[in-house]
Structure 1
């Protein structure tokens, strides 16, 4: 075989924006190291991306492939029910489709080399079964915090200790059986799926099995940094031969693009069309005067919740920029109906958009705070921008993240398990006025640590170089096999 040892990496994200975005950032970073990249989306998400952007212009070094997700074409695929259904069915549809894709890639003459390794999302662990058939190494990428992954590794222990399911309604009961987090987590801070009545709950068991399967990989990639999660990263080293903490990926990608004179592209608008007019609106606002509000790409809210949040924001008398997706509200209410109930003059301080270029928004000097669902991408982007947070988590890792923000890093307030206009008003005022200097000092300190991590001598850059060299070694090994064969 005349193929050279250029690494060819297959990227397999979980089919949700919060997972696709960091995986795209990672793929772009590795492409700068000379790697060939094949990015695999579901057919549905591939069509959405094509609708919202010219991916071949934005990512000219990639080849994009798509495989079916096993759902009918008219399935909405836009709510948590779809995600739960996907957990149950992904192996049925994805495994054979991924196998066929690898066969086609292996047989292709041009333009790519045979696959060197696969970087798969940490909740797509079935991929390693397929990769092993083709003698391809698998590195797993878990797209949330080290604190959260450490918690996931103790889900079985939580069940054994009788902590899950909860034995009563006291959500403030401390959790004492997770080493290193004994004085941090309460019941309400555990991942959302722990609020189950049955230890055999399929979603809980899914995450227990997926987390255990991570250890079969060659290594683990985390979108975090030693500077803020070093202790948890070290603890995770007891489960993995190699842990590559190389975050914040969006900031690392931007720095590498700047140094290589490449255009830096945000992945905010991959599945949603961005409304960039909000940046001009922010230009007209004083420094640190605007609260940014966004609850990510998956969460659904009732009309009553939207109304409570809106009243709290308006009553705080602070300017706000609020992202309300077209599919955010469940039920018969629409944002138009809700806004009609408000006095026009009371809404003059606010701007509502369907989707925003979040990285740019958070870096804008007018932004003074972030009311967030505490997804890990949003949390990292806020940390890098030095913006303190009000956390309103709803699912999965968000409960752990919000606790870290408030109790470990001291860069925000945790508003979980409440949606009351008076509390929203109080915390907005606390964040933007009463505790402004204290919060900003902590937020600026963490932002400096994040920036330090992506400098050439920073921990994330050093770990990235280790990852690059390890993938190159895999490519060299494959080349030797082909030559000897």
Structure 2
């Protein structure tokens, strides 16, 4: 028993198996092993195969003897797309296949696990932890502001805001989310909430998992107090123990040894896609802040018509653009029948790749703006880089994030629910020239606050130290 108490705490980290969740929770895992904790990271078989194929993740984590990967099935066939609306099918597979596999692993793994850091969208991780008497800290990879909307879903239902009626005024203010009464509209509700069916499984899953958070030992948010402090104060009335430790990618750069910092940003990734680094060479040839970067993340799926409208908007703006177009991102599109003027316009001013090293791209001096899906990792990466955003949200928390970017933080423009070439053209020019000064000023101020939060003595830096110390104390009480 004495040896057990002297060994470092063993933390098991389990993300929801999609790109954004895996990325941020792997960063947390690395921060914990840097602090001397033992970490077991649970990947789905499917995602681990992709990580190993497309990144240096095995070699990168091999330098940490206290770290190990373990894998579990996600319950889906390997050829399942795991994108677009079909991403919600992962939930069913996880309940059937992954929950029992996780429980079995926790029973036999040695040394025993002292603490689970589970993805907060997966309520069953909390159930398994409580059954086995292992403390569970929930990590919410979404914004705090979206978490709070999720938390009050029962109130939204009681007030009649959900379900959405067929003739709903989408610009009507939602008055029942504390702290957001003056600016949150129906169209800004998370995608799961914009349903006409009160029994919708995605809505019910999100609502139940989020309400379970009050039963967790604590909550972790990838955010910082200067960004989301007002909403965090509301969340603390229901979930008082919260660690705000973000932006995690900036926190990791602060804590990595000096000889690893440059490599972390330029050569390594946690990507489930093959990174095409040729775009960096292309950016190197462009003028300062002359390029609009376009990426809609790892899940967004668009129609061919939407693709063409965005493409025309970019070409017609006359701005240089770097656009990430995943092979699976356009429904029924094989690259055929693209108007010649778009092809010629792209040859002149654009560059298209399947996937890019996004942190490095956003930090590049040639980038002047970001047309984004408003995923939380992307929002934070753009914020830290001081790059103004145009937001075209697709899924989950992205609708709330884009409203905050445009209306609350004043870091860019919200283009939600619109896909029109003229609007794209106008907003690109606003971000890159017409209204650039005001957005850049706000973006630089927020970037400064973000970097201060993860510097020694900053709020996120101290909160991570507090989290690590609490895990150590937790292990002594096991």
Question: TM-score of the superposition, structure 1-length normalised?
Answer: 0.94
Gaps of 5+ in 2: none
Shift of 1:135: 2.0
Structure 2 equivalent of residue 409 of structure 1: 409
Structure 1 equivalent of residue 314 of structure 2: 313
SS at match of 1:156: helix
Aligned residues: CA RMSD? 1.6
Gaps of 5+ in 1: 479-485
Q: Where in structure 2 are the equivalents of 1:83-162 lying within 5 Å?
A: 83-105=87-109, 108=110, 113-162=111-160
Question: Is residue 293 from structure 1 mapped to residue 294 from structure 2 by the alignment?
Answer: yes
Spell out, residue by residue over 1:261-288, the C-alpha distance to the aligned partner (whole angstroms, 9 max, x if none): 5675356452111111111111111111
Structure 2 equivalent of residue 42 of structure 1: 44
Distance 1:369 1:42 in 2: 34
SS at match of 2:422: helix
Spell out, residue by residue over 1:118-160, the C-alpha distance to the aligned partner (whole angstroms, 9 max, x if none): 1000111201222223321100000011111111111111111
Distance 1:213 1:279 in 2: 43
Question: Is residue 212 from structure 1 mapped to residue 211 from structure 2 by the alignment?
Answer: yes
Q: Which residue of 11, 14, 17 maps to 1:15?
A: 17
Shift of 1:79: 1.7
Distance 1:402 1:275 in 2: 27
Shift of 1:424: 0.3
Q: Where in structure 2 are the equivalents of 1:36-435 lying within 5 Å?
A: 36-60=38-62, 61=64, 62-73=67-78, 75-105=79-109, 108=110, 113-167=111-165, 168-258=167-257, 264-265=263-264, 268-331=269-332, 333-335=333-335, 337-338=337-338, 342-345=342-345, 347-435=347-435
Indicate conservation of the 8 Å contact 1:258/1:264, yes or no.
no
Distance 1:51 1:94 in 2: 23
Spell out, residue by residue over 1:414-449, the C-alpha distance to the aligned partner (whole angstroms, 9 max, x if none): 000010000000100111010111110010000001
Distance 1:114 1:35 in 2: 13
1:263/1:8 Cα in 2 relative to 1: closer, same or farther (>3 Å)?
farther
Distance 1:370 1:321 in 2: 10
Indicate conservation of the 8 Å contact 1:5/1:475, yes or no.
no
Distance 1:343 1:319 in 2: 14
Structure 2 equivalent of residue 469 of structure 1: 469
Indicate conservation of the 8 Å contact 1:78/1:327, yes or no.
no
Between 209-218 and 369-378, report the one with greater CA deviation. 209-218
Indicate conservation of the 8 Å contact 1:193/1:204, yes or no.
yes
Distance 1:195 1:57 in 2: 43
Between 196-205 and 289-298, report the one with greater CA deviation. 196-205
Indicate conservation of the 8 Å contact 2:23/2:270, yes or no.
no
SS at match of 1:288: coil
Structure 2 equivalent of residue 483 of structure 1: none
1:78/1:52 Cα in 2 relative to 1: closer, same or farther (>3 Å)?
same
Spell out, residue by residue over 1:1-41, the C-alpha distance to the aligned partner (whole angstroms, 9 max, x if none): 43333111101000000100000000001111101111101
1:363/1:181 Cα in 2 relative to 1: closer, same or farther (>3 Å)?
same
Indicate conservation of the 8 Å contact 2:431/2:439, yes or no.
yes
Question: TM-score of the superposition, structure 2-length normalised?
Answer: 0.95
Distance 1:394 1:42 in 2: 24
Count of aligned residue pairs for this structure pair: 470
Structure 2 equivalent of residue 481 of structure 1: none
Distance 2:192 2:284 in 1: 41
Shift of 1:70: 1.5
Spell out, residue by residue over 1:16-72, the C-alpha distance to the aligned partner (whole angstroms, 9 max, x if none): 001000000000011111011111011111111111123221112221100111223
SS at match of 1:335: coil
Indicate conservation of the 8 Å contact 1:188/1:399, yes or no.
yes
